[in-house]
Amino acid sequence: MNQQVVRRFWLFWAVFGLYAGALAQPPGGPVVVSPQVNADNTVTFRLLAPGAKDVKLNAQFEKAPVAMTKDAQGVWSVTTAPVKPDMYPYSFVVDGISVADPKNSAIFPNEGFQNSVVEINGSTPLVHSLRNVPHGTVSYRYYTSPELGQRPVVVYTPPGYETDTKTTYPVLYLLHGTTDVEETWTKVGRANIILDNLIAQGKAKPMVIVMPYGRAYPTISKSSGSLRNWDNLQAFKKDFMGNLFPFVEKNYRVKKDKDSRAIAGFSGGGGETLYLGLNNPDLFSWVCGFAPGMLKEEFDRNNATAFANPTQTNQRLKLFWIGVGKEDGLYPIINDYLKVLDEKKIKHETLISEGGHTWMNCKLYLSTIAQKLFQ
């Protein structure tokens, strides 16, 4: 190598090495592409881990972790069977430690674990596939809580919101699950893309979607368990009613009647949804639980107002909707809950789907209710 080439080589590694210092893999190693979605809907996953003894793929389209094999350069890989088109969380299990895919910037935002996300589009666009249609805006905002400080919230405004400045919109409050954060509904649930597509097809009304952070941190510790725990529920309710709700009504062109307000949520956020939604019939006419977390003793707590006068409840609620997968661990208790609703003659719609407690089902549930809300 002549001097210039030597210098360039040195410079490249000096800079790359400094920048990617935390990568802890040898410079000059093999180029690793992962995930690689193939034309036949198989997926090739790769991880450079020359020192690892055992690497598995843990993907939510597989029933169990799948062994990966190492090549001479230390790259572990596996190519799956054809995968049903959808968007799935996955991770690698390296000698027992779960890690996200370092080559994939599509991350599952979460404060309890690290997953990556892979999208298999197939030949027909899905309801959550990014397409060339008018797109809404996803805004990251802060509002102020006297107790909790600066609180993050993600807000979807539909296509045309910025230009149709006389139009007001109905609003959906959409809550994430336990250990998720305010951007999980867009990044893993694709709420914005689902609405873009359904609005473009005339199947959903243009609406604003408000996605707050469901944990009353720092009052409630991030390691304090379910969002449904009583202390979090109380602190979150206070923040929701006292700070978030006024922030939204002041800063967004949302309609201010209860028939133009919906609340929905997944898992622990589904528990929050039933508690806030059913006990505040003056605020919300549309209440949707996506595999809502609950224990039997919460039935009355969540439904105190609704159970007190079923006739009035049925008149007030435009939609009370519950979705759950048959393989979800919550399926038995949600079934018990649905029986109680029948006994009490509380009107409700259900979607009992395939699958488990997953974000694949969340996308299905959101795309289902989005076509019912405000219609």
Cα 328 to the chain's mean position, in Å?
A: 17
Our finding on whether 2 is near a copy of itself (CB under 8 A) is: no
Q: What are phi and psi of 213, to 5 degrees?
A: -90, 120
Site string for a copy of itself, 335-374 (x = CB under 8 A): ---------------------xxx----------------
What are the b/e assignments for 190-222, b being 16+ CB within 10 Å? bbbbbbbbbbeeeebbbbbbbbbbbbbbebbee
Residues 35, 43, 49, 248: which binds a copy of itself (CB under 8 A)? 49
Footprint on residues 9-28 left by a copy of itself (CB under 8 A): 11, 13-15, 17-25
Distance separating alpha carbons of residues 49 and 53, to the nearest angstrom: 9
Footprint on residues 265-284 left by a copy of itself (CB under 8 A): 267
Residues 66, 85, 135, 352: which binds a copy of itself (CB under 8 A)? 135
Closer residue to a copy of itself in complex, CB, 182/276: 182
Footprint on residues 167-206 left by a copy of itself (CB under 8 A): 177-179, 181, 186, 192
Residues 41, 42, 98, 279: which binds a copy of itself (CB under 8 A)? 98
Our finding on whether 164 is near a copy of itself (CB under 8 A) is: no
CA 271, 272, 278 angle in degrees (round to 5)? 90
Shortest reach from residue 99's CB to a copy of itself, in Å: 4
Closer residue to a copy of itself in complex, CB, 21/311: 21
How many contiguous H segments (helices) and E segments (strands) does the chain have?
10, 18
Q: What residues pair up with 279 in beta bridges, in sequence order?
A: none
Residues 1, 28, 31, 72: which binds a copy of itself (CB under 8 A)? 31
Closer residue to a copy of itself in complex, CB, 32/306: 32
Q: Are 158 and 195 in contact (CB under 8 A)?
A: yes
Residues with Cβ within 8 Å of 80's Cβ and at least 6 positions away in sequence, in order, are 42, 43, 44, 45, 57, 59, 61, 62, 66
Our finding on whether 229 is near a copy of itself (CB under 8 A) is: no
Residues with Cβ within 8 Å of 10's Cβ and at least 6 positions away in sequence, in order, are none
Distance separating alpha carbons of residues 78 and 68, to the nearest angstrom: 5
Shortest reach from residue 291's CB to a copy of itself, in Å: 8
Closer residue to a copy of itself in complex, CB, 31/72: 31
Our finding on whether 123 is near a copy of itself (CB under 8 A) is: no
